[in-house]
Structure 1
Amino acid sequence: MHKIRLLLQAAIVLSLLCASPFAARAQNQTWAEVKPIMDRRCVVCHSCYDAPCQLKLTSPMGVSRGASKEAVYHTERLEDAQPTRLGIDAQTVPEWQALGFHTVLRGQEAGLLERYLDLGRQNPMPTDSPLPTELGLAIDRPLVCPTSDEFDTFSRNHPLAGMPYGTAPLAEAEFQTLMGWARGGAALPSAAPDIPDAIQVWIADWETFLNTSDPRNQLMSRYLYEHLFLARLHFQGDDPRRFFQLVRSTTPPGVEIEVIATRRPFDDPGAAAFYYRLQQVTETIVHKEHLVYTLGPDRMARYQQLFLDTDWTLAELPPFGDAEGGNPFSTFMQMPARSRYQFLLDDALFFVRSFIRGPVCHGETAVDVIEDRFWVSFLDPDTDLSITDPSYLQEGAAFLELPVSEADAGVPGMLQGFSHKNQVKYLEFRDARYRAAPIYQAGFDYNSIWDGDGTNPNALITVFRHFDNASAMTGFHGGIPETAWVIDYPIFERIYYDLVTGYDVFGRVEHQLSTRLYMDELRMESEDTFLAFMPRDVRPQMHEHWYQGVLAELHTYWHRRRVDDRFPTGISFQTDQPKQEFLLTLLKRGNGLWAQTDPINRCAAAGCPAGQPTEALRDLANQTGNWVKYLPDLSVLAVKQNGGETALFTLAHDKAHYNVAFLFDEEARRDPGADVLTILPGLIGSYPNFYFHVGQDRLQSFVAALKGIRSQSDYLALVAEYGVRRASPDFWALSDRIHDIFLRQNPIQAGIFDLNRYKDPKQGDDPT
């Protein structure tokens, strides 16, 4: 009788619990309710290949796929790894589990998602103070990645590893929503959002255009695919948050897409027929891999003009594979070089961004060979011999093979020798051809730089490096940079195939190394082309300033780099600062496409606009000082204006180097006394390192405090007064506001920022 009474009481308690509001919500929790929370609290760290434990939470498939103990980034990998690209390399949970993934959802007991959330709830971070030293934040920190069976031991050994990791806790409502959904079965949608009929028509038109059977059309479509496979394709005038991706499929238009999973886009798709298809992007838009490319009637007409209305013939289609993909100049030899170069120039910013964004998301291989800020322009097609002289690429293509064309050629040293040997031969070939051309008699002048044809702002670009990632924007921003590049068609195409089409994040160490070393060659070639515009007598001194130090001189000698002081310049310089004169003159061309001054970083005193916050921030911009080195690579300054609106600015720490000639030991080549701060209105970059939040009436005090920093203690005092730490109660609210402003101001380009690199300043940090 006593047992029966206990059972009845338990049943009553259970029924009351099930009838509670929370239980009702748990049973009815939907993905639509969960996704906004997961995007802003989980995806900010769990997206892309650098997501901890490969737990990518940007889509339902990523959630159901789960986590892995294998890291994508492995600098000592001797064999190519099995790719684990979401939506490509496996399609079902059992297939992912066969590749080593384990579930994070509830089974017979609580799943990893809810256990991590609960662990974070039990062990909150200290508010507004440095995180415990045992909590690692380094992007390359060792990860344990426990399964459900291992989690109890893991949580005892790592009690601070709860989620969200190393930040302020979730709000109560957010926590209950996520936990209720996880405990209630973690329902996930199985179908992609519907596509409106009008967009379906556009998709059909593009798939018809790309799959025309004529050989010239087929080669054009291959060229487009190899250059746009990373693009987020957006139809002009469509919903600003709807995007598509160009894929190769075994199925024709009108049939469900079956993606062909090759390692690289130029790999052989197989003997069977394949089709280029437009697949809807259903993942959360993450800024670091969001490369927008617009489609529309004008775009199709442009392709028709560039590739199909031009006069060229094709006897047979070129083969696929590493060798062919490693030399796009021979693969696409029959297509007019002018058309290919103009295709790149039309959307130069997109392609430059593709070098430094995309799903790789850990770009140190590409960006540790560049300065922290430099300006880029492009050789005009009518000046570029690879465009004007058909024999140039026919004879020079053999020297333009990239390292990936010898992907199985043995050890890293052999690959480096291969790429270096070819590069030396190409430079000798290039020099000989330009010496024999009429341009050698007069030299390059301003007309030798593409001006965007008076309508295209992509002709001038600023690139920023932020340690292991980078960003780019049109126009010239900041003060006069130390270095500048001029890119011609052979350089542009090789950078793209080296860093994008031919790059395999799952490749072995020799591939990673050869990619980086070849990019070193291309940087120097771009710098050398810029130097050809300078007066002959200043070129050697300019180059020596870029490559200071005995090792850098040896590096230049080994690469057989000798600054050409014989090629004349066609420019009559009027000042003793030719680099500045040249670059600023470029801004005056293009019918006003670019601002000639930078109102914060570079403007004449008489012409600088007054008013806050621009005027106050000008006191910080483009200046050296001991205080600069204490700032992280990329900070966001949120200024709450007197009217209540929040104005956002990006503080980019431009770190000075004696040279960028080597792969290792960057600290030894740093010149922190020459660091400056470039301040830009709005948001650049994908990985903010820190947020500052200042009221407009305190902006002058913030500026004074920042310029007064002389020690790490001073910097920590600034952080305490104006900074927003990871565990600050204001952290998530400010993060949400920044994302909301970004989405409102630029709905097509906006995406979720990555907070994996958000700093936690503390005493003892190295400010350099």
Structure 2
Amino acid sequence: MSYRVVISSVLLFLSWGAVAQDPVSGAAISYTRDVQPIFTEKCVACHACYDSPCQLNLGSGEGASRGANKSLVYDGERSQAAAPTRLFYDAVGKRAWQQKGFYSVLDAQGGQASLMARMLELGHKTPWPPNAKLPEDIVLGLSRENTCAMPAEFDGYASTHPNQGMPLAVTGLTDQQYQTLQRWLASGAPIDEQGLVPSAKESLQVVQWENLLNSPGARQSLVGRWLYEHWFLAHIYFKDGEPGHFFQWVRSRTPTGQPIDMVKTRRPNDDPGSQFYYRLWPVQGVIVHKTHITYPLSAAKMARVKSLFYSGNWQATALPGYGPQSRANPFATFEAIPAQARYQFMLDNAEYFVRTFIRGPVCRGQIATDVIRDNFWALFQAPEHDLYITDPNYRGQATPLLAMPGQNDDVGSVLSLWHDYRDKRNEYEALRRDSYADVPAPSWSTLWAGNDNALLSIFRHFDSAAVTKGLIGEVPQTMWLFDYPLLERTYYQLAVNFDVFGNVSHQAQTRLYFDLIRNGAEQNFLRLMPADSRDDYLDDWYQSSGKFKMWLDYESIDNDKPTALKLDEKDPKRDFAMQLLARYGDLNAKPDPINRCDGAYCSRPNIDPELQNAEQALSALTARPAAGLRVIDQLPEATMLRIESSSGTRVVYSLLRNRAHSNVAFLLGESLRYQPGLDTLTIFPGVLSSYPNFMFNIPAREVPAFVAAMENAKDADHFEKVVERWGIRRSHPQFWQYFHDLSRYIHETEPVEEGVLDMNRYENL
């Protein structure tokens, strides 16, 4: 820290007094009115959730006050589980957080300005040339090793990283924003933030739902526990609630009507220790897209829940306990609740449940996502065709085999635990295969078609993934068919039981079992294909080393029992997809003429003609392997295209790179299984990633030129010219305007889903 900056900070504090004033209006600076909006615009895109650099979360006053911590949340090598550091949950207040290893970024120390003030000053005095590529020595993305300099270490950091002040490697604060923050920091960084308060209508519904989940009686208590464990990740909203108001289910020592006293456990199904109540707590802080998994509650939903769970004459004679066995096998834990009710409840909002484990709140997902393909479709088995629902004898045999690993995190026992659970799972798969061989062959009625959650598309972007309703993109290499045992196991393994602060043993067991889940979903789907085609499909999905994995870990498939579907023998999977689209067109929430062009017209009807022409041009980039479209080699995983017509209408498209793999069956060595010549692109209107990797801004009339340039960009030099003409680099003067316009577009098209996007993965192209 220079002598000049120290003196200037002291003079600022003396001249402004203890109460900072806004540099324009002269009014006292308010954290809520003046500071948090700056953090939201320029900081939250990196500093939110568990993957926030140095755990500095600037989405709320509590997060800013908490400060930073050198410990990594994402550490795949730790032998001991880490103490959880969930904001608003594991501690409250600066002192409590400092006892957990956090240090202040707001407090002036040792006669020097605060750490934040110095980091902002370092960034403000080193602006970037407009829209220039940044120096290669600035490491970005998840491979960056943050030093997390403490106040006493700042001088060394600034000397070593003179051009890496804050905001990092991006167009920084305006002069006015910079002055506002520096004046606020110099005045002692007062925080006047108030917690979100529900409206009168919302408060009434909160009481109604809390009363339902806290109803007395063994049966009611068991249902309340099951519902809580299936809603704990949800951002609940009420159909007639206030825009932007969301709630989350928590366990509290205090009942409805009293302030919430949180029960703080690592998992939602850990032992609460004493009497508790299920409570709805307003979601605090800025809403960020990557953790924003929404779920609606309404009078109709209340009636549905009561119909599913509180009707009939089933009884719970005794409540199950909490502990490793109860966590490992929710099928046994909640055996008393009718399986049909449990499965139908999950089907009603299947997109939510798939999002919890595909998109998820853990912010960095490669430990799970490297087990799935880059794009696939998900379907669901109808309850009336699910033997676990319809056959008590089968259910009784299956339930003991459905336990999941991850409860014992002893590092030395990983392999033995894995083998035990693998063998148990394969015993279940053999039971399923043989039992389904004795029932009528699958037909179209096998597929659930109850609402628009029935057809889902999943896109993986290396270490993150997205889920959306409808069948998007070209017919994928694989499809998944969930039945109830598979859907529930996936949810419990990757959402309820997964501990982001867990050790290497816990994380390895989770990842290895998810591999079996994927294989099970693929096997379920293969039953729909002609019997003599199944081995060929499986060989295609598990090429090279995948064949060894099939021999080592997977139960053999049923390649005898026929399907009742009439499919083209030459390409039954594609024919299935085409018939699916035709048969369930009313449920396919998002028709896709850009990627599945039917005839001469490859654009959506009833949109601006200029945008129709743009979509027609963009369709030339889809469904083409990289061997013939070399620019794919240069593209990151998820690129956004902002296309604006001359009338001012603009549409955002996601340009997604679908990486091909010989197989996705192993924990390590993913890059060794890439098949880059087979990579393809999907282009679809909407923001299909919480983590944009890059963005192009293209006038609609220039889209044909953009497409032609992409087709001719056969190497990095040619692609750089595309970036220079249309790209929005991190240093672009209007970077933040364009970046946040992605969130505004979500607000315009799906307002409930809006949240600040993450730019930690925005690349330096």
TM-score > 0.5 by shorter chain: yes
CA deviation string 1:586-642 (max 9, x = no partner): 223347121695210002114544732211111112222222221110000011211
Q: Note if 1:719 corresponds to 2:714.
A: no
CA separation of 1:630/1:751 partners in 2, compared to 1, >3 Å: closer, same or farther? Answer: same
CA deviation string 1:314-333 (max 9, x = no partner): 11100012220110100000
Amino acid at match of 1:693: N
- Paired residue for 2:6? none
CA deviation string 1:624-674 (max 9, x = no partner): 222222111000001121102221111011111111111112121111111
Distance of 1:420 and 1:606 partners within structure 2: 50
Q: Note if 1:568 corresponds to 2:562.
A: yes
Corresponding residue to 1:554 among 541, 548, 561: 548
CA separation of 1:84/1:374 partners in 2, compared to 1, >3 Å: closer, same or farther? Answer: same
Moved more, 618-627 or 19-28: 19-28
Distance of 1:195 and 1:668 partners within structure 2: 52
Distance of 1:727 and 1:548 partners within structure 2: 43
Distance of 1:404 and 1:734 partners within structure 2: 42
- Paired residue for 2:429? 427
Corresponding residue to 1:511 among 491, 506, 514: 506
CA deviation string 1:655-713 (max 9, x = no partner): 11111111112121111111111001121110000010111121110000011111111
- Paired residue for 2:228? 225
* 1:641-680 mapped onto 2 (5 Å cutoff): 641-680=645-684
Query: Would you say the 8 A contact 1:266–1:322 is kept in 2?
Result: no
Query: Would you say the 8 A contact 1:375–1:483 is kept in 2?
Result: yes
Distance of 1:597 and 1:27 partners within structure 2: 52
CA deviation string 1:137-190 (max 9, x = no partner): 031322211111221222112212211101112222222222222222222235
- Structure 1 position 464, deviation (Å): 0.3
Corresponding residue to 1:393 among 377, 392, 395: 395
Query: Would you say the 8 A contact 1:225–1:246 is kept in 2?
Result: yes
User: How many residues align structurally?
Assistant: 743
- Paired residue for 2:23? 22
Distance of 2:156 and 2:570 partners within structure 1: 68
Q: Note if 1:579 corresponds to 2:573.
A: yes
Query: Would you say the 8 A contact 1:628–1:675 is kept in 2?
Result: yes
Distance of 2:219 and 2:683 partners within structure 1: 47
- Paired residue for 2:599? 605
Structure 2: tracts of 5 or more residues without a match? 1-9, 604-608
Query: Would you say the 8 A contact 2:601–2:616 is kept in 1?
Result: no
| SS of 1:649 mapped into structure 2 | strand
CA separation of 1:635/1:240 partners in 2, compared to 1, >3 Å: closer, same or farther? Answer: same
Amino acid at match of 1:76: E
CA deviation string 1:721-768 (max 9, x = no partner): 11111112121221132222322332211100000000002xxxxxxx
- Paired residue for 1:213? 216
- Paired residue for 2:175? 172
Q: Note if 1:131 corresponds to 2:134.
A: yes
* 1:679-718 mapped onto 2 (5 Å cutoff): 679-718=683-722
Query: Would you say the 8 A contact 1:588–1:596 is kept in 2?
Result: no
- Paired residue for 2:149? 146
- Structure 1 position 21, deviation (Å): 7.1
CA separation of 1:606/1:260 partners in 2, compared to 1, >3 Å: closer, same or farther? Answer: same
Distance of 2:533 and 2:95 partners within structure 1: 64
CA separation of 1:180/1:409 partners in 2, compared to 1, >3 Å: closer, same or farther? Answer: closer
Amino acid at match of 1:365: I
Amino acid at match of 1:669: R
| SS of 1:458 mapped into structure 2 | coil
- Paired residue for 1:736? 740
CA separation of 1:566/1:760 partners in 2, compared to 1, >3 Å: closer, same or farther? Answer: same
Query: Would you say the 8 A contact 2:643–2:652 is kept in 1?
Result: yes
Q: Note if 1:501 corresponds to 2:496.
A: yes
Distance of 2:25 and 2:307 partners within structure 1: 60
Amino acid at match of 2:92: Q
Q: Note if 1:492 corresponds to 2:494.
A: no
Structure 1: tracts of 5 or more residues without a match? 1-9, 762-768
| SS of 1:413 mapped into structure 2 | helix
Distance of 1:607 and 1:412 partners within structure 2: 54
Distance of 2:591 and 2:268 partners within structure 1: 41
Q: Note if 1:335 corresponds to 2:329.
A: no
CA separation of 1:566/1:33 partners in 2, compared to 1, >3 Å: closer, same or farther? Answer: same
- Structure 1 position 19, deviation (Å): 11
Distance of 1:494 and 1:614 partners within structure 2: 40
Distance of 1:719 and 1:72 partners within structure 2: 34
| SS of 1:627 mapped into structure 2 | helix
Moved more, 737-746 or 41-50: 737-746
Query: Would you say the 8 A contact 1:120–1:161 is kept in 2?
Result: yes
The sequence identity of aligned pairs, in percent, is: 39
Query: Would you say the 8 A contact 2:541–2:663 is kept in 1?
Result: yes
| SS of 2:54 mapped into structure 1 | helix
Distance of 1:19 and 1:230 partners within structure 2: 39
Q: Note if 1:309 corresponds to 2:311.
A: yes
Distance of 2:123 and 2:11 partners within structure 1: 31
- Paired residue for 1:298? 300
* 1:42-61 mapped onto 2 (5 Å cutoff): 42-61=43-62
- Structure 1 position 98, deviation (Å): 0.9
- Structure 1 position 574, deviation (Å): 4.1
Query: Would you say the 8 A contact 1:260–1:269 is kept in 2?
Result: yes
- Structure 1 position 20, deviation (Å): 9.2
* 1:171-210 mapped onto 2 (5 Å cutoff): 171-210=174-213
* 1:473-492 mapped onto 2 (5 Å cutoff): 473-492=468-487
- Structure 1 position 91, deviation (Å): 1.4
CA separation of 1:481/1:60 partners in 2, compared to 1, >3 Å: closer, same or farther? Answer: same
- Paired residue for 2:323? 321
Corresponding residue to 1:539 among 534, 538, 542: 534
- Paired residue for 2:254? 251
| SS of 1:28 mapped into structure 2 | coil
CA deviation string 1:556-601 (max 9, x = no partner): 1001442321121111224522101112222233471216952100
- Paired residue for 1:622? 623
Q: Note if 1:450 corresponds to 2:448.
A: yes
Query: Would you say the 8 A contact 1:337–1:386 is kept in 2?
Result: yes
- Paired residue for 2:107? 106
- Structure 1 position 410, deviation (Å): 4.4
Moved more, 182-191 or 192-201: 182-191
- Paired residue for 1:276? 278
Query: Would you say the 8 A contact 1:587–1:596 is kept in 2?
Result: no
Query: Would you say the 8 A contact 1:597–1:603 is kept in 2?
Result: no
Corresponding residue to 2:637 among 633, 636, 641: 633
Moved over 6 A (4+): 10-21
Distance of 1:457 and 1:203 partners within structure 2: 27
CA separation of 1:567/1:68 partners in 2, compared to 1, >3 Å: closer, same or farther? Answer: same
Query: Would you say the 8 A contact 2:740–2:756 is kept in 1?
Result: no
| SS of 2:278 mapped into structure 1 | strand
Distance of 2:176 and 2:310 partners within structure 1: 57
Normalised TM-score (structure 1) = 0.94
- Paired residue for 2:97? 96
Query: Would you say the 8 A contact 1:637–1:648 is kept in 2?
Result: yes
